[in-house]
Amino acid sequence: MMLSRHWMMVRMIALVLVLWITVPTTWAKTTTTTTSTNIDTRRYADICVQPGKSMYVPLKDKDGRGHAILKLAIQVSTLASIVSKDSPQHKAMCWMIYDDVRKLDPRGGKVGSFLDRYVLVTLYMNTKGPGWVRSDYWLTKEHECTWYGVSCTRTGLFLTRRIIGLDLSFNKVSGYVRQFDRVMFLFFFFLL
């Protein structure tokens, strides 16, 4: 067991080093705060609608949660990855707006917990999650800390559960990260 954890850490370190070299320098100049960027999400209200393919309806102007998710997804990913219907970021965002039974809301100081879930859903979408050997509780109503391979701890004044580790070795995880979001980079960087 210790050997597999060692190799997982070696692979994650290598991934971070490779990605550190390829991360655009503009990311270093931007922040991930949600208050500094003014994005009119009404322009993208029908972003998850695919005529004839989905049951999703356009976001209503009064859907504050949906627009907050859309805005945050655009901020932490790239606009191009969010509008691309085939990208894992787009699929994860639409799943979180419409299909996630937990209906997490990134407003009101819950951005960190929301982003933990968004990153894991993006990883699942990008690495053929349905084909994994074990995907216990992934994409269910359960807290992401109960998902197979995810380790968490309680932090902060309110003892919020936050992800501290991810071990999916020997689980038929396949795929590659075509576009590494700022959030995913920070997520993996701080797991080391």
The domain spans of the chain are: 33-191
Mean pLDDT of 49-78: 90
**CB neighbour burial string for 67-85, b if at least 16 within 10 angstroms, e if fewer:** bbbbbbbbbbbbeebbeee
Burial of 168 (0-12, 13-18, 19+ CB in 10 A): buried
Q: Contact at 8 Å (CB) between 97 and 74? A: no
Mean pLDDT of the chain: 78
23: left (phi over 0), alpha (psi -120 to 50) or beta: beta
Residue 77 in this model has a pLDDT that exceeds 90: no
pLDDT in tens, 5-27: 544 544 554 343 333 333 332 33
Residue 74 in this model has a pLDDT that exceeds 80: yes
Q: What is the dihedral of CA 134, 138, 144, 149, to 10 degrees?
A: 10
Residue 112 in this model has a pLDDT that exceeds 80: yes
| Stretch among 28-42, 92-106, 109-123 having the lowest mean pLDDT | 28-42
In this prediction, residue 187 carries a pLDDT of 52
pLDDT in tens, 153-190: 988 777 888 898 899 999 988 887 655 555 555 555 44
C-alpha to C-alpha distance for 24 and 110, rounded to whole angstroms: 27
In this prediction, residue 181 carries a pLDDT of 52
C-alpha to C-alpha distance for 75 and 125, rounded to whole angstroms: 19
C-alpha to C-alpha distance for 190 and 9, rounded to whole angstroms: 12
In this predicted model, which residue has the larger pLDDT, 36 or 123?
123
